[in-house]
A and B are shown apart, each in its own frame.
Chain A
């Protein structure tokens, strides 16, 4: 169960090797979380991630999970909930793709869209249903500021996150009053292996900062969390910039 401050005792991370996912797990393990399920494609990285959390004192299990294999989600994820309550699901998987390459290679672009959007729709619905029948829990979805308004530089990734963001908001509304809480997290540029080598955007942040924002958001039962918080203001201004001008901004 979650405590009065929204700190969960059990956690499922979809995208078990995600740096933001793991930073969040570390933070929550330092509070109340004792059981962690790391779902991801079996790999040495996943095993190492599990071990790093075990070293912090948590009981960690790994679960084979592939965002693209949507047919398996129901069975793989549904099973976890029968073994005990899961207080929080963190939907943390996603790929950035390579915009220039993907524009020439539609199949690669489709893979980005399928991972970030289709996979999340499937896994998100499976988990939401399970959370709903246990009558409590949080579904935390890692969206991105990129989904707020598509930019020339990464509109494939951005559009997939836009879809995910809209999906998660709608799901949150659908689950309102069911005891299940859906929280959309919109980080800006996060310094991780996914963004290594890319030019850093203003207001760049770290996985640890995102983890902190998630913990605070859980406490407030927030529906939307921006990381850093200043992005809320920046994006609400950018959203209204006319397109001819927006196109020319150095973003």
Chain B
């Protein structure tokens, strides 16, 4: 059949989970003017900005429409090395920021499990990291941003304004973020001082996390969700802080701020289906749990190994095979520990082969209207999408989460029931109203916004 348009770059796209591909015309603007022109002429199916494609679901896809690949807008405009403030384009990746800023003694205030996200994506999804209990989400450190709106104009939004709060976590639906001003974190070295300990079951884990989280800037627990019975929820806790210069051994003091992330060969393009079944993942989990020391303190680790272990394997998402995988991340508030226990028990009983299950505690909630974090417990896990009955099973978990007043993370969602959205995100109505006013023709839309009716 003839190609639907004359654009050369009409390509099928998916999120990082590689499920539900749709076709879009990709345009890579090289200037703000080009971006504005693209938005003005994007046609009836609208447009959405996309960064490095690390959102797991369909947030940065736009079937039949235009996708603005923002990675061409990647200039760092200015760095204030005394106050620790950077102004940069939205297409700059956190990886690039780290490369530039670490030698100057500054670090990004919040980083998720990968460095390969853009600043625009970080604000659009209002990402969080292992330091949420101390530092909050990414956009809490953004003082202002410039937004390309539906009429093709550019607006400034300062922290604390409605437009800012709708954009932080707004999944790109208020406009295209062009640039941002970010407050940085001072560091003395590029190494982490890491404490590790094991927890024998979920309750042990929760007790340990609650009692000692406040002592660390970064804190996270890896849970073995295939362990059953008394060992249900056994976990390895990893907590750390930026290492002080004085804590470094003599050799490392020669280049205390060096940033040298290692990289392994990429995952092959074709991986047979079902490689990550219960047996393989079970074995991996057993090894991973046993490998962790019962207790170790003050171990020095590279930033990249501590924050972004998976970035070492390019295209690791391919290991799930052609049908891809879904990531399920939810949060339930403090006081709703029973809901968390119930979900963990159900996952363990069902035997979901997940080798990346991560539990952490969130601190204070963030002002973004559709921001995901709220004070409470958050659990994230990867599951192969071809697992039978998975859709129905996750729907049941959604019910538990929603009735406990919790929510599911939109940047990772690819399957949620639209009916639950309003219960999970109480400011949804405000968001919709602002969007209707700002973008009455729905110029900005994505597969996510169509699927959930955002």
Measured CB to CB, the residues of A under 8 A from B are: 1-7, 9, 31-32, 85, 128-129, 132-136, 171, 174-175, 177-180, 219-221
Contact = CB atoms under 8 A, between A and B. Distances in A.
B451 A5 contact: no
Contact of A5 (B63, B415, B450): B415
Contacts of B416: 3
Contact of B45 (A3, A132, A134, A178): A134
B1 A2 contact: no
B241 to A, nearest CB: 37
28 contacts: A1-B22, A1-B63, A4-B19, A4-B391, A5-B385, A5-B391, A9-B451, A31-B391, A31-B392, A85-B450, A132-B1, A132-B4, A134-B45, A135-B24, A135-B45, A136-B21, A136-B22, A136-B23, A136-B63, A136-B64, A171-B1, A178-B1, A178-B12, A178-B23, A179-B21, A179-B23, A219-B323, A220-B386
A19 B23 CA distance: 32
Contacts of A7: 391
A36 B257 CA distance: 60
A177 B12 contact: yes
B65 interface: yes
Interface in B27-63: 45, 57-58, 62-63
Contacts of A3: 20, 391, 414-416, 451
A32 B398 CA distance: 14
A180 B20 CA distance: 11
Contact of B1 (A9, A31, A174, A219): A174
B447 interface: yes
Given A135-B22, A178-B1, A179-B23, 6 more contacts: A3-B416, A6-B20, A7-B391, A31-B392, A136-B63, A180-B23
Contacts of A129: 1
A61 to B, nearest CB: 19
A128 B2 CA distance: 12
Interface of B: 1, 4, 12, 17, 19-24, 45, 57-58, 62-65, 322-324, 326, 385-386, 390-392, 414-418, 447, 450-451
B22 A179 contact: yes
Which of A171, A179, A220 counts the most chain B CB atoms within 10 A? Answer: A179
Nearest to A174: B1
B414 A4 contact: yes
Contact of B450 (A1, A31, A128, A180): A1
Given A135-B24, A219-B386, A4 B415 contact: yes
A1 B17 CA distance: 16
Nearest to B24: A135
Nearest to B25: A135
Contacts of A134: 45, 63-64
A66 to B, nearest CB: 25
Which of A5, A31, A134 counts the most chain B CB atoms within 10 A? Answer: A5
Nearest to A30: B392
B323 A220 contact: yes
Contacts of B417: 32
A2 to B, nearest CB: 5
A136 B22 CA distance: 5
A178 B21 CA distance: 9
Nearest to B389: A5
Nearest to A125: B1
A135 B58 contact: no
A170 to B, nearest CB: 10
A134 B447 CA distance: 11
A75 B323 CA distance: 36
Pairs A-B, 7 closest by C-beta atoms: A135-B64, A179-B23, A135-B63, A4-B19, A1-B451, A4-B414, A136-B22
Contacts of B21: 136, 179
A1 B386 contact: no
Nearest to A3: B415
A135 B326 CA distance: 22
Contacts of B415: 3-5
B354 to A, nearest CB: 15
Contacts of B450: 1, 85
Which of A135, A171, A174 counts the most chain B CB atoms within 10 A? Answer: A135
Nearest to A177: B12
Contacts of A221: 322-323
A217 B23 CA distance: 20
B1 A1 contact: no
A230 B82 CA distance: 71
A1 B65 CA distance: 14
B1 A128 contact: yes
Contacts of B385: 4-5, 219
Given A133-B64, A135-B63, A177-B12, A5 B390 contact: yes
A136 B1 CA distance: 15
A146 B384 CA distance: 36
Nearest to A82: B44
A7 B389 CA distance: 12
Contacts of A174: 1
Nearest to B21: A179
A74 to B, nearest CB: 16
A17 B390 CA distance: 30
Contacts of A85: 63, 450
A96 B367 CA distance: 62
Nearest to B449: A1
A212 to B, nearest CB: 11
A152 to B, nearest CB: 37
Contacts of B451: 1, 3, 9
